[in-house]
Amino acid sequence: DIQMTQSPSSLSASIGDRVTITCRASQSISTFLSWYQEKPGQAPKLLIFAASSLQTGVPSRFSGSGSGTDFTLTISSLQPEDFATYYCQQSYSVPRTFGQGTNLEIK
């Protein structure tokens, strides 16, 4: 199985900050990497697919990059609605493993 390791596991930041979350795969997954946002009581929401493509309707302050084993999710200027938990997931092979999540909190 491919292991996905996210860092950090938690992060405190302020409105307007630039934030970067990283995700590392235990083997190459090309660009089969997605990022999801989850808020309490809500279904997970797809933000980024194919490592760097922005899902329709997602604000442009979100961006993704990387290929192979190392990936990043960047939020260019944090907004109040961005405080949530973020997950990466590989879709290169089954099982479709997720990272452990990054909890983004208000500083």
Partner 1 sequence: EVQLVESGGGLVQPGGSLRLSCAASGFTFSAYWMHWVRQEPGKGLVWVSRVSADGSTTTYADSVQGRFTISRDNANNTVFLQMNSLRAEDTAVYNCAREVTGIGRSLDYWGQGTLVTVSS
- Return residues touching partner 1 (CB under 8 A): 1, 31-32, 34, 36, 38, 42-46, 49-50, 53, 55, 87, 89, 91, 94-101
CB of 37 to partner 1, least distance (A): 11
Between 63 and 97, CB nearer to partner 1:
97
**Strand bridging mode 19-25 / 4-7:** antiparallel
Between 72 and 91, CB nearer to partner 1:
91
